[in-house]
Chains A and B, each alone.
Chain A
Amino acid sequence: MPWLSILMGVPVVGALAVAAVPKGSDKLAKQLTLGVSLVVLVLTLAMAAQFDRSGARYQFSEVHDWIPSFGVHYAVAVDGIALVLIALAVVLVPIVVLASWHDADRPEAKRSVKTYFALILVLEAMMIGVFAATDVFLFYVFFEAMLIPMYFMIGSYGGAQRSYAAVKFLLYSLFGGLLMLVAVIALYAIAAKGTFLQPELLGAIKDPTTQKWLFLGFFIAFAVKAPVWPFHTWLPDAAAQAPAGAAVLLVGVLDKVGTYGMLRFCLELFPDAAKFFTPLILTLSVIGIVYGAIVAIGQTDMKRLIAYTSISHFGFITMGVFAMSADAGAGATLYMVNHGFSTGALFLLAGFLINRRGSQYIADYGGVQKVAPVLAGTFLVAGLSSLSLPGLSTFVSEFLVLIGTFENYVVPAVIALSGMVLAAVYILWMYQRMMGGPVQESVKALPDLNLREKFVVAPLIALLVVFGFFPKPLLDVVNPAVHQTLTTVHAPQFTPAIPVTAEKKGAGQ
């Protein structure tokens, strides 16, 4: 059964159906979108259930010629890493749809509601495609094409500065993407294998200098996408101006394509160059961790604050990817998933607050916990997951990244620890200013979460807690794939100075 093609096909067909809904029946369009996204979720779970953890690396593989003249295939397959990221995307989409129920139909916006929901479904198909592609060219096609629906979602449905933010987002990403295109073409030409299939291109580039240049071509595109400091400046604008739902998909899933690309393409295709650039990238990551956290503390706009915390978190992920140890790799992959849920919850709750109060400035809130306890409580849990409180899933991943990095690179790991402390500052201080203290006049009539909103937040909180205590299902899927990646890279594996006899590592193993 062509699982992955079906997974992509269903949302595309759904998007066409939503776009074809007659004018005026917006509710039908929303219900249809929610239904389609739930179907995709169910299908993904059915597929994941059949994933054989001890089987071949790539499963559900489909390979068809697409453009034989260029050696391009329609080739999709998933390993553990891709599978959990696809799962992240398909879980977030129905939640975002439910959360965005009224986002597009503000009366002053005069936008087509069904277009917004059709764009979400198109984006979902592309998100699945980009993680499933095992052909470098196909990956590039999705990588670039998915900018367009997001561009329209920010530009048409965002805040006051939306068109500036949308253009900045598109041009930054396009610029990085075009540099990658040069590297993609050069990879094909130099490898001279007549194919773009990633597994066949492994080890095809031998010359170290060539590897370095091609690595940079890919890495800059991914660094812009992720975003890694200093390529991050588009993210706070885009995330702050995007409607909350689009911001979740942008930061939660789209940006993960960058870190996923580093793991899948930068590391595996150019292992020697990756090792050569590791010190530089670890430096950038550490700067990103500390810089993002410090700047987040100074933000007055809560969406920008969340965006900056993400820059800090992406520092952890890139650090984990390039630390080249099994723990760090697994931690980074897990981090991508958990960060999606944690930041998703924060953005959505911030969106609910903004919808109620009409302001995204922290100073406009105060004492919310007295008038809307459920809202404040879930906000606190989401915030605590962002600062990696033990017991929530983000802690597991951050811990694994730090341990894994410490095995190979002590100094960056030590500096990165400060990021955890700073995280406590920016989250708790924001919570204190917004939710604690005396009730501000303007929030006195603030309603608490309604049923729909509870349905949005509950699954995210549940996932954070469940994977916080029991990350084994995710790690079991991720670990073999990370191991195989590191084998391709020939990374020396860490052996403890004092042999351990008991269970090997910390949480979850």
Chain B
Amino acid sequence: MSTLTAAAIEAPKIEYGELAPMLLVFGAAIIGVLVEAFTPRYLRKSIQMPITILSMVGALALTIWQGAQGVRNAAAMGAVAVDGPSLFIWGAILLLAIVSVLLINDDDQFVAQAAAVPGSAEEDQAISEGGAHTEIYPLVLFAVGGMMLFPASNDLLIMFVALEVMSLPLYLLCGLARRRRLLSQEAAMKYFLLGAFSSAFFLYGTALLYGFAGSVDLSAIDKALATVGGQDTLLYMGAATLGVGLLFKIGAAPFQAWKPDVYQGSPTPITALMASGTLIAAFGALLRVFWVALGNLDTQWTPVLWGVAILTMIVGAVLAITQTDIKRMLAYSSIAHTGFLLTAVVATGKEAQNVNALSGILFYLVTYGFATVGAFAVVTMIRDAGGEAGHLSRWAGLGKRSPALAGIFALFLLAFAGIPLTSGFFGKYAVFAPAVAAGGVGLVIVGVVTSAMAAFFYVRVIVLMFFSDPAPEGPTIALPSMGTAAVVTLAAAATVVLGVFPQPVLDLAHSAAQSLFVR
């Protein structure tokens, strides 16, 4: 009895300072929920918007400050890793999330009354009353908080919690498109079901690995690889199912099926957030699991990821060619880019090699994130009677109607295609170079062949915009709100600057990757 006295339990030590960026975002999210509960409807937006932006700007400032301090630590009893890669990823996610929130601020994208049946009288009434869901802001903050925790978790259970905190708000947000609501609701449903399925895989993998290692801590699993014998079945099953859960989140083939539907159905600002933030977060988590926990098992998983990378690149590039909807095309393009990124995930080796591969991935994620947010921001501006003009044929002759906008969109497409003097070229170089150095020439050849295929469908859109005659009743170009205009300008500037002077960001990525992941 006396052995169980309180003296045996120590309060866990939490480094609140190091976790402050995340705590700030989560705190703001909770305040946002309270605002929804206690303030009158007409005031909500003008309160939510500043809270959202300011909290994320504050979190970004804290992240930068920590980066400058050189914080490298496994905080909260080793459960959350606040190391170079985490800080870099936090910075990138926060920047892209701030940019996406500027797009979300555009009311016209979101449903007036989500509970009203599409096409019903209630819906008409909600629209005429000017209803709006300001819950979007706290939901976005929760999702962003989850995105920050996911790649920083140093423990499989925390990672699972983060996965859910990130995903659940996104499931909801996907279903809130103002127009083509059935498509949006279908997207949300599909995303939820498939996401739940993949979460189950993730959890099952966690349980199996716990069975193998006796711990859910990533570094403990790593240690167990060397000491535990005779449990290989548990290990391989666990690694495989965990891998399925993570590959689903990055949208690698054969787990990519959700991406086109969800990207197409979601409100475009949410698509922008998912295409940039979620991808970055999921890659961070994938790297941490495979490099930290299963780092010494790489001879086993490298061939599998080789196959996955090749399949992902081919599926993304081939299926994108057949698309006629701009958002679906960008979704398949995102799948192809996931494949390009995976070429560097398997490029492991000595420490210097790992640093190069990691910094390449980090740099690529930033370049791709900005270009993709910019591209979706342009998509929100091309509209016709039924909302956004998604069908590619509607984009014909846009270059004559609005040369500046079409020119900027062409810039993003050229960046996706990896043409020199755009950010995408150095991104591709940054991941392909370590892949070649690690002996993945075959993988890189597949990468460049699929890049050439991918260039075909990017170029096709440019042909449509610039070389075709405008459709007689072509779409209108919405006058951009301040936010949207700022997003497009920023993304275009980032694409050009990172394509000409990538060195500062490369240095940043390199110094973030220098210490690799804390264990």
- Inter-chain contact A171/B459, CB cutoff 8 Å: yes
How many Å lie between the Cα of A296 and that of B359 in the bound state? 52
- Inter-chain contact A156/B433, CB cutoff 8 Å: no
- Inter-chain contact B507/A69, CB cutoff 8 Å: yes
- Inter-chain contact A152/B456, CB cutoff 8 Å: no
Interface string of B445-462 (1 = CB under 8 A from A): 100110110011001101
- Inter-chain contact A141/B421, CB cutoff 8 Å: yes
B308 touches A (CB below 8 Å): no
Residues on B with beta carbons closer than 8 Å to the beta carbon of A162: 467
- Secondary structure at chain A's binding surface: helix, strand, loop or mixed? helix
- Inter-chain contact B436/A69, CB cutoff 8 Å: no
Residues on B with beta carbons closer than 8 Å to the beta carbon of A151: 459
**Interface stretch among A76-84, A182-190, A264-272, A316-324?**
A182-190
- Inter-chain contact A70/B433, CB cutoff 8 Å: yes
How many Å lie between the Cα of A366 and that of B196 in the bound state? 76
User: CB < 8 Å: which of A140, A156, A170, A181 contacts B466?
Assistant: A156
User: CB < 8 Å: which of B359, B426, B432, B466 contacts A152?
Assistant: B466
Residues on B with beta carbons closer than 8 Å to the beta carbon of A362: none
Most buried by B among A142, A147, A175: A175
Residues on A with beta carbons closer than 8 Å to the beta carbon of B50: none
A167 with B420, Cβ < 8 A, contacts A69-B503, A156-B467 known? no
Interface string of B397-435 (1 = CB under 8 A from A): 000100100000000001001011100011001101100
How many residues on chain B are close to A (CB under 8 Å)?
37
CB distance from B432 to the nearest CB of A (A): 6
- Inter-chain contact B452/A175, CB cutoff 8 Å: yes
CB distance from B356 to the nearest CB of A (A): 9
User: CB < 8 Å: which of A68, A110, A140 contacts B400?
Assistant: A110
B510 touches A (CB below 8 Å): yes
- Inter-chain contact A171/B455, CB cutoff 8 Å: yes
Query: For residue A138, which residue of chain B has the nearest CB?
Result: B420
8 Å CB interface, A177-218 against B: 178-179, 181-182, 185-186, 188-189
How many Å lie between the Cα of A471 and that of B479 in the bound state? 61
A374 touches B (CB below 8 Å): no
Residues on A with beta carbons closer than 8 Å to the beta carbon of B444: 182, 185
Residues on B with beta carbons closer than 8 Å to the beta carbon of A144: 419-420, 425
B31 touches A (CB below 8 Å): no
CB distance from B309 to the nearest CB of A (A): 15
CB distance from A378 to the nearest CB of B (A): 33
B30 touches A (CB below 8 Å): no
- Inter-chain contact A189/B420, CB cutoff 8 Å: no
- Secondary structure at chain B's binding surface: helix, strand, loop or mixed? helix
Residues on B with beta carbons closer than 8 Å to the beta carbon of A178: 448-449, 451-452
B506 touches A (CB below 8 Å): yes
A8 touches B (CB below 8 Å): no
- Inter-chain contact B463/A167, CB cutoff 8 Å: yes
A410 touches B (CB below 8 Å): no
How many Å lie between the Cα of A67 and that of B421 in the bound state? 13
Query: For residue B510, which residue of chain A has the nearest CB?
Result: A69
A189 with B449, Cβ < 8 A, contacts A69-B503, A69-B507, A145-B419 known? no
- Inter-chain contact A155/B466, CB cutoff 8 Å: yes
Query: For residue B451, which residue of chain A has the nearest CB?
Result: A178
CB distance from B45 to the nearest CB of A (A): 40
How many Å lie between the Cα of A140 and that of B462 in the bound state? 23
A354 touches B (CB below 8 Å): no
8 Å CB interface, A149-179 against B: 151-152, 155-156, 162-163, 166-167, 170-171, 174-175, 178-179
Interface string of A106-117 (1 = CB under 8 A from B): 000010100000
- Inter-chain contact A174/B441, CB cutoff 8 Å: no
8 Å CB interface, B379-403 against A: 400, 403
CB distance from A211 to the nearest CB of B (A): 15
Interface string of B488-510 (1 = CB under 8 A from A): 00000000000000110011001
A140 with B420, Cβ < 8 A, contacts A152-B466, A181-B448 known? yes
How many Å lie between the Cα of A189 and that of B430 in the bound state? 13
Residues on B with beta carbons closer than 8 Å to the beta carbon of A142: 420
CB distance from A429 to the nearest CB of B (A): 35
- Inter-chain contact B503/A189, CB cutoff 8 Å: no
B468 touches A (CB below 8 Å): yes
A148 touches B (CB below 8 Å): yes
CB distance from A423 to the nearest CB of B (A): 35
CB distance from B431 to the nearest CB of A (A): 10
How many Å lie between the Cα of A112 and that of B510 in the bound state? 43
User: CB < 8 Å: which of B433, B445, B506, B507 contacts A189?
Assistant: B433
- Inter-chain contact A112/B403, CB cutoff 8 Å: yes
How many Å lie between the Cα of A112 and that of B449 in the bound state? 34
- Inter-chain contact A174/B420, CB cutoff 8 Å: no
- Inter-chain contact A174/B445, CB cutoff 8 Å: no
Interface string of B26-48 (1 = CB under 8 A from A): 00000000000000000000000
- Inter-chain contact A171/B456, CB cutoff 8 Å: yes
CB distance from A119 to the nearest CB of B (A): 12
- Inter-chain contact B421/A163, CB cutoff 8 Å: no
A148 with B441, Cβ < 8 A, contacts A155-B467, A174-B455 known? no
User: CB < 8 Å: which of A171, A174, A185 contacts B433?
Assistant: A185
Most buried by B among A68, A142, A163, A166: A163
Query: For residue B359, which residue of chain A has the nearest CB?
Result: A69
A185 with B436, Cβ < 8 A, contacts A67-B503, A145-B419, A175-B452 known? yes
Most buried by A among B420, B430, B459: B420
How many Å lie between the Cα of A181 and that of B427 in the bound state? 13
How many Å lie between the Cα of A62 and that of B456 in the bound state? 37
Residues on A with beta carbons closer than 8 Å to the beta carbon of B462: 155
- Inter-chain contact A174/B432, CB cutoff 8 Å: no
How many Å lie between the Cα of A307 and that of B467 in the bound state? 23
CB distance from A103 to the nearest CB of B (A): 16
CB distance from A132 to the nearest CB of B (A): 16
B437 touches A (CB below 8 Å): yes
User: CB < 8 Å: which of B417, B437, B445, B455 contacts A182?
Assistant: B445
CB distance from B85 to the nearest CB of A (A): 17
Residues on B with beta carbons closer than 8 Å to the beta carbon of A175: 449, 452
8 Å CB interface, A383-406 against B: none
Residues on A with beta carbons closer than 8 Å to the beta carbon of B420: 140-142, 144-145
How many Å lie between the Cα of A470 and that of B463 in the bound state? 47
How many Å lie between the Cα of A142 and that of B421 in the bound state? 9
Interface string of A44-60 (1 = CB under 8 A from B): 00000000000000000
How many Å lie between the Cα of A67 and that of B419 in the bound state? 17
Query: For residue B469, which residue of chain A has the nearest CB?
Result: A110
How many Å lie between the Cα of A213 and that of B503 in the bound state? 30
CB distance from A72 to the nearest CB of B (A): 9
Residues on B with beta carbons closer than 8 Å to the beta carbon of A171: 452, 455-456, 459
- Inter-chain contact B502/A67, CB cutoff 8 Å: yes
CB distance from B421 to the nearest CB of A (A): 5
Q: A68-B503, A171-B456 are in contact. List 15 more A-B contacts (CB 8 A).
A: A66-B503, A67-B502, A69-B510, A70-B430, A70-B506, A142-B420, A151-B459, A156-B466, A156-B467, A163-B467, A167-B459, A174-B455, A178-B449, A189-B436, A189-B437
Q: Can you name 7 A-B residue pairings with CB atoms under 8 Å?
A: A67-B506, A69-B510, A171-B456, A175-B452, A178-B449, A181-B429, A182-B444
Which 9 A-B pairs rank lowest in CB-CB distance, beginning with the nearest? A178-B448, A163-B467, A141-B420, A175-B452, A189-B437, A145-B420, A69-B506, A144-B420, A155-B467
